Amino acid sequence: MKALHIIVSGKVHGVSFRAFARECALRHKINGTVRNLPTNEVEIIAEGDEQNIEQFISEIKLGSPGSSVAKIRTLDIGMQSFADFKVLK
């Protein structure tokens, strides 16, 4: 199992990116959270099998329709044992 703190930069606010991230997480069996940051970036906490995390990040890089992902930064973090994947306000 692996846990990552992910920051997504680019045009990711107002384009259903958080809902897109949740759909990707469910598809790849990832638990965690996603939320908009006041810096116009999106923060994702993702936990799951390492291969599933890699597939999740690959899909996130493509972005939702209307979004434009410019950069993704990741940092390994400790497991927080999320039960599911939630979109935070």
- Closest CA relative to residue 40, chosen from 4, 76, 68, 19: 68
Q: Provide the annotated active-site residues.
A: 18, 36
DSSP 12-28: -SSSSHHHHHHHHHHHT
